[in-house]
Structure 1
């Protein structure tokens, strides 16, 4: 009746006014996985709850709830939690252990004994106190049980390293949505997934190692230290010591003594002495500057041999920065590896797959822009002028006779929209290259390899935002792309999955394949309930796909992704870095697999100075690809029949003309759609001109009277047919 009464009150009020979250209602919520609060949801839950209570006894409802409830670290149900936290069956749990699991229901993350033993103890004691007040236990039992320590067999490291946790969670959610709950839990479904276990292990190791390195470059977080009072040091025991300490894991270490250059660290029952070398990454002058007696901090175990009395440890810390890796076979769409964050036990949000995990792409978007240009008739040998440039909307701005930028009088309608904050105040757009470096005349290939912002914006202006947006959508980018010029530099946010779909389309000869992670589901008798096959569409021409792959191969061989060249493998890809180094990307492919890596914080903030895609994301990608290519035969992309290669001068984009016009080292085999090859040969005169600074390659130079620097070029936005208004 409580459920029904709450539903009636909500209907009469027109909105949710009463929760009525009985155990049955919570079971309904677990089954339906609905989280959004709404009147419609409450009514639906109430009806389902009434039906469940008519069909099952309270004991059966409680049993079902106990099998479904989430208890942290990817664990669903009391049995899974009992086995993971305590190494036993649910029937063997003590009162203390049972109370601790019951306390986890409200907030599994906050009260996890792996994450915070003290909060877990307080929460367990709260549950025991409620049991005492309700008459379920006596004063004597209560006093005895709260005196027991909270001990687990699970460690922080082990909780983090449940292989494929993010992937398996996606599988679980899909099955619960696709099938009845009793089918999933009780009928013995056989689920065949696309996960490659070896690649998944390699992916998790690459992400965790890469994020730790990235985190450590920003220094040691003194504020993360825990502290043990002097009188409690001898009795302190960390739950991370409740298992055999072995090489490769991270455990708590208690500082029991400190001098300027040495510290004694207690791990379990063993004291280990460390020096400055073991904390070198903190850049502290003395150990005593960062560690004090009674501190509890993390240490990585490199060697642990009590029999030989040999120990090697180093100061460590749990990264706050997050990351994601997604590996998709772009021929079939099968997801072979998925890492949604540093640790599923710490954060279940899947940054690799969740549609809400959208981030600004930076230059990772540029291959979509350049590919749309190639699809429109441009070639990789076409040249643009790389120089400081101001872009103006001709409907809003003009340049007077003194070369001063002036704004037209705004219409009353525009003024009102600006006042109502529907539009921003009009302003010239003045992008910049990384480190303010400009090369003058360069080809589109070089601009892509060096990730030149000015050339990319000029290209976006010429191709037109409508064409670029339509092309990106064909490649699998479903999030809305802004029509503004800043989209050329990746101001638009997309997901890792979308980035992998787009790059996979290029690597797969223009064929876009929808990713999936379940191959087949069969019932207990072997009858197939569903079977997924590749879902493909020819989204881009084979020639355009091959041309942009060729351009991105240059990024690996000559450009911002050159660190991956050491893999000595047939690769293409692109780095991406957003403003203020808040997001760092690398997305790349070989002929069979496309892999996307993103790093950043959930709440936008800088990764650190100079933390570019090449520095923060590419090393993770490289480490994963090392695991991928091991023992695998190398393949090449198949060149379409309407594409050929022609020797050109890479600086001018003109036909090679040695020795009169270009040096042997400047000759490359450029890829062209047949019929678009250059006709003019390069010359010594052109090369001599390119030796000059960018501002002298034009001829006449105009300098700013105040700064003494060359004045930027002014370029007006080009109106394209049927192009949507960009203001």
Structure 2
């Protein structure tokens, strides 16, 4: 082997060795950098801080809160015209660099020096995406270095098309629009594939200064910026000179719209959700955002309920409706008024209204629990209790009547009689067990039996749902599941939610359901009948028909309807209006449920025992002086209206003492 040949072999070997070492060093350096940088593939799950998405039971978006991209363009569905406009405007060498554009940086530097000001940026689309997703907007050298390293990593982990699509879905474009789909809607009420050349160019010109270039802020500046983008598109060969001229001379043709999902499609419900979220999540979790709240709301039913309230509210009264799944406590429907835009007051959760005769559930349940049977006879007649003299509707009295029929016809004297018989403590305890009077204590006044203490529609619905659930009370909830920024489960109602508690015995609940079915099949709630489908429910009317109620259940769903005026003035309707509206709603959704019967009326083996029998102490030391006396709560004073209470039910107007 000649010396010359050996020389070239040495040179070649050295070159290969140096190349290998350089490649290894580059790989080592790249791996070291990658280890401290975020995974670029996380971009697909990117959410800005503070964003919350509220979803219905079937996954439909109810509302998006915070700086969220409200609508994204699906993969491979981004219009070519839009892509070309942004590439020409923001990164003309996008398809030829590896995240950093050295030529672009040099060109921008020369241009800015000539103009004496910053007229052209040098950040690539890849750098802008890295900054948006992983970094802040601060202008510091460390942030710029991180941005460059991330851009390089993005180019290695994602394709050019993926980078461009993600950028176009996340870039802020002014007026609350995050991404091209949002901008197309906000400025032109269109989807991205409907945008014309001048419209696409106008949107593509906004990223450098969205608040300045927005046509909703300054149309003149927006037109000037659009002209620059059109010129760049022509220079890049994306459009012809003729197309550029035509687009440059076209009017803006703006058609502004509110960003999609900015307003809630169920605002009364979502306002309640916002109040409940802090009970499950920490302030830090809410601040970080990226949350998906899978709510209990059935959006289709919600729309039906809203329509029913607006259509069937008597006169110009307000209305409310709540539907709860008895077995879980999940709220499927919540309508807090006719129009959220007119009034944000939620009449389902905030309004305290007299429940009227729907409150009779509690004295009757307490009586059944104490051993009184549905077939036991009671006397319906004019009577006073310590100065309180209720009267029946129409001043009609039935004399001797079975307890079940007294509820069927909503006899007020019997409800007060039951309260007197079983005692205040028993009725109040029953109400407390069913979630009523736990935050606002119930007083020991005879009008309590027939609705003198105001309650919310939500709480009354939950109480009736517990009876439909055979005595198991489930706390009302708007949540099914909560997922975090990486789609991890933070909270699940099935595993971490309220487990329910026994509020009353199942035989008592079954008996009440049997009695409430008779209210609908042939009593005051007949307007709510669903034919062959069993319905258990109760009407309620307060004095002057100020509050009109019906709360009814099928085994799978409990729904309450309330009508009335916010200023508490008298209405011209009756509880039959609420029962009829209930039926209209249930008729629309009942096909979602199999026809199921309530459990049959049980045989009650309880024996009634008057409450609190004790023996008094002997007098003068004589044991014979001890006599059985009723030492319950003792009789309350002569009738006094409950302090701060609501108007009384029209059926318990005081009558003269006999």
Which TM bucket (shorter chain)? 0.5 to 0.7
For residue 513 of structure 1, what is the aligned residue in structure 2?
Answer: 474
Contact 1:466 1:724 in 2 (8 A): no
Counterpart Cα distance in 2 of 1:186 and 1:98: 30
Per the TM alignment, residue 573 of structure 1 is displaced from its structure 2 partner at its CA by 0.5
Task: Tell me the secondary structure at the aligned position of residue 574 of structure 1.
Answer: strand
Deviations 1:590-637 (A, max 9, x none): 1111111111111111112xx22112x112211111122124311122
Q: Higher strand share goes to which structure?
A: 1
Q: Are 1:624 and 2:535 an aligned pair?
A: no
Q: Are 1:200 and 2:302 an aligned pair?
A: yes
**Matched ranges for 1:31-430 at <5 A:** 87=189, 163-175=265-277, 179=281, 183-184=285-286, 187-211=289-313, 214-215=314-315, 319=316, 321-352=317-348, 354=349, 356-392=350-386, 428-430=387-389
Counterpart Cα distance in 1 of 2:490 and 2:257: 39
For residue 222 of structure 2, what is the aligned residue in structure 1?
Answer: none
Deviations 1:208-256 (A, max 9, x none): 2112xx12xxxxxxxxxxxxxxxxxxxxxxxxxxxxxxxxxxxxxxxxx
Cα–Cα, structure 1 residues 190 and 592, in superposed 2: closer, same or farther, change >3 Å?
same
Task: Tell me the secondary structure at the aligned position of residue 269 of structure 2.
Answer: helix
Contact 1:457 1:488 in 2 (8 A): yes
Per the TM alignment, residue 496 of structure 1 is displaced from its structure 2 partner at its CA by 1.1
For residue 569 of structure 1, what is the aligned residue in structure 2?
Answer: 533
Per the TM alignment, residue 92 of structure 1 is displaced from its structure 2 partner at its CA by 8.7
For residue 458 of structure 1, what is the aligned residue in structure 2?
Answer: 417
Per the TM alignment, residue 153 of structure 1 is displaced from its structure 2 partner at its CA by 6.0
Deviations 1:338-360 (A, max 9, x none): 111111111112111x2x42111
Gaps of 5+ in 2: 1-51, 53-135, 140-174, 191-202, 219-253, 609-628, 639-658
Cα–Cα, structure 1 residues 484 and 619, in superposed 2: closer, same or farther, change >3 Å?
same
**Matched ranges for 1:696-711 at <5 A:** none
Counterpart Cα distance in 1 of 2:345 and 2:303: 19
Per the TM alignment, residue 390 of structure 1 is displaced from its structure 2 partner at its CA by 2.5
Task: Tell me the secondary structure at the aligned position of residue 432 of structure 1.
Answer: coil
Cα–Cα, structure 1 residues 86 and 596, in superposed 2: closer, same or farther, change >3 Å?
farther
**Matched ranges for 1:549-560 at <5 A:** 549-560=513-524
Counterpart Cα distance in 2 of 1:572 and 1:539: 18
Task: Tell me the secondary structure at the aligned position of residue 385 of structure 2.
Answer: strand
Counterpart Cα distance in 1 of 2:398 and 2:446: 21
Q: Are 1:584 and 2:518 an aligned pair?
A: no
Q: CA RMSD in A?
A: 3.9
Counterpart Cα distance in 1 of 2:263 and 2:286: 25
Per the TM alignment, residue 376 of structure 1 is displaced from its structure 2 partner at its CA by 0.7
Contact 2:525 2:539 in 1 (8 A): yes
Per the TM alignment, residue 502 of structure 1 is displaced from its structure 2 partner at its CA by 1.2
For these two proteins, the number of residue pairs brought into alignment is 393
Task: Tell me the secondary structure at the aligned position of residue 359 of structure 1.
Answer: coil
Cα–Cα, structure 1 residues 526 and 359, in superposed 2: closer, same or farther, change >3 Å?
same
Task: Tell me the secondary structure at the aligned position of residue 506 of structure 1.
Answer: helix
For residue 3 of structure 1, what is the aligned residue in structure 2?
Answer: none
Cα–Cα, structure 1 residues 381 and 341, in superposed 2: closer, same or farther, change >3 Å?
same
Per the TM alignment, residue 165 of structure 1 is displaced from its structure 2 partner at its CA by 1.8
Task: Tell me the secondary structure at the aligned position of residue 493 of structure 1.
Answer: coil
Per the TM alignment, residue 327 of structure 1 is displaced from its structure 2 partner at its CA by 0.6
Q: Are 1:485 and 2:442 an aligned pair?
A: no
Counterpart Cα distance in 1 of 2:217 and 2:634: 64
Task: Tell me the secondary structure at the aligned position of residue 391 of structure 1.
Answer: coil
Counterpart Cα distance in 2 of 1:439 and 1:177: 50
Per the TM alignment, residue 589 of structure 1 is displaced from its structure 2 partner at its CA by 0.8
**Matched ranges for 1:683-702 at <5 A:** none
TM-score by length of 2: 0.54
Counterpart Cα distance in 1 of 2:443 and 2:630: 16
For residue 461 of structure 2, what is the aligned residue in structure 1?
Answer: 500
Q: Are 1:537 and 2:468 an aligned pair?
A: no
Contact 1:567 1:626 in 2 (8 A): no
Counterpart Cα distance in 1 of 2:402 and 2:449: 17
Counterpart Cα distance in 1 of 2:585 and 2:211: 41
**Matched ranges for 1:607-646 at <5 A:** 607-608=571-572, 611-615=573-577, 617-639=578-600, 643-644=602-603
Which of the numbers 632, 641, 653 marks the counterpart of 1:721?
Answer: 632
Cα–Cα, structure 1 residues 448 and 87, in superposed 2: closer, same or farther, change >3 Å?
same
Counterpart Cα distance in 2 of 1:161 and 1:581: 35
TM-score by length of 1: 0.49
Counterpart Cα distance in 2 of 1:721 and 1:341: 43
Task: Tell me the secondary structure at the aligned position of residue 447 of structure 2.
Answer: helix
Counterpart Cα distance in 1 of 2:635 and 2:383: 23
Deviations 1:503-554 (A, max 9, x none): 1111111111111111111112222212223421111001111111111011
Gaps of 5+ in 1: 1-30, 32-55, 60-76, 100-149, 216-318, 393-427, 645-672, 678-717
Counterpart Cα distance in 2 of 1:526 and 1:561: 47
Cα–Cα, structure 1 residues 634 and 183, in superposed 2: closer, same or farther, change >3 Å?
same
For residue 653 of structure 2, what is the aligned residue in structure 1?
Answer: none
Counterpart Cα distance in 2 of 1:507 and 1:529: 31
